[in-house]
Amino acid sequence: MFSKDIGIDLGTANVLIHVKGQGIVLNEPSVVVIDRNSNKVLAVGKEARKMVGRTPSNIDVIRPLKDGVIADFDVTEIMLKYFLDRLKVKGFMTKPRILICCPTNITSVEKEAIREVAEKSGARKVFIEEEPKVAAIGAGMDIYRPFANMIVDIGGGTSDIAILSLGDIVKSESIKVAGDIFDREIFQYIKRQHKIVIGEQTAENIKFQIGSVAATDYNKDMEVRGRDMATGLPRTINIRTEEIKMALNGPVQMIIQAARTVLEATPPELSSDLMEKGAVLTGGGAMLHGMDDLLADHLGIPITIAEKPMSTVVLGTGILLDNMDKLSAYKKGLFKSFHLSFGASKKITTY
């Protein structure tokens, strides 16, 4: 049995894995639960996520990635090895090639940590690509042509904004403001305004169920349960969309400013392309109601949400794996031009 090439989106919130020839085979939370007394791993992924905020003092719930990079090397290795063993991607005598993604602004030390954890998890060879580039490919952009492509990828730990042309990043910005910060701001707002404490999962549920950032008539409400700060007893309150808009205004403005910074530094010829083509919005942040309209209003260009915003990065790894040999030859100068082959089942976005 031969090993299989795999692509990994090692995200702060979720790990997604693409196996060449099979598609996306795994989408699990980046969470590991460990018994501190015995040092035994109790759960990984979805099962571990269910335990967040519900464990006794001797049980640690660990999210080993923070702000898009590895915060706990050993636990990341445990998590990744668990997923790869479960998928049985290793051959009898061989190990798989792994393509893994990283934010644009990480240090060489952080990049080496990603490479090392992939190797220790069972990789024969590791390729590392920058997330916005892979997200753009996963969204259906052929970035190897001499035209501007803009991606705004709002993930769990970072928001990556990039302009791409001729197969590489022309201008980019990566900020540690994304889904996790959104959740934290909702938590802080409810604590400050309503004097109750809610859990991490509750804050995330509020964001996805009634959250919005657009100045529209969209307005929902939701019952939220938490612990009263004064009495220590459970209490139920009602939260409205308008409140979530206020809670998220600060971090959303930081993402808008990062996108403006990238556009202001973009060469004029590429800027003119973007007036017509606009930008593509990907990542979990693309699911937040009104994010596309808000970015379009502030940036003055069309904004389109990717067909599968939460899977674009891992879809991009799959396309790159299919084109790996041709891409290597192109980089060595053996080809004068190179165009991605998206496969018969891949819908290519046309601008």
Which residues make up each annotated binding site for ATP? 12-14, 156-158, 204-207
Indicate the DSSP class of residue 13: S
What's the order of all strands across the beta sheet hosting 234-240?
Answer: 196-197, 221-228, 234-240
337 by DSSP, 3-state: which?
coil
Could you tell me which residues are annotated as the binding site? 12-14, 156-158, 204-207
| Separation between Cα atoms, residue 350 and residue 138, nearest integer Å | 13
What's the order of all strands across the beta sheet hosting 303-305?
Answer: 168-175, 159-165, 149-154, 279-282, 303-305
The token pair that represents 76 in the structure block = 């990341």
Indicate the DSSP class of residue 122: T
Nearest to 318 by CA among 165, 134, 185, 151: 134
Q: Report in angstroms the alpha-carbon separations of 266 from 146, 159, 176, 287, 295.
A: 14, 18, 22, 27, 17
The token pair that represents 69 in the structure block = 């990079």
The token pair that represents 16 in the structure block = 């997604």
Contacts of 118 (CB under 8 A, 6+ apart): 8, 80, 98, 100, 126
Q: Residue type for 85, please?
A: D
Per DSSP, the residues of 17-63 read: EEETTTEEEEEEES-EEEETTTTEEEEETHHHHTTTT---TTEEEE-
Q: Would strands 159-165 and 6-10 be described as parallel, antiparallel, or unpaired?
A: unpaired
CA angle, corner 141, sides to 136 and 147, nearest 5? 105
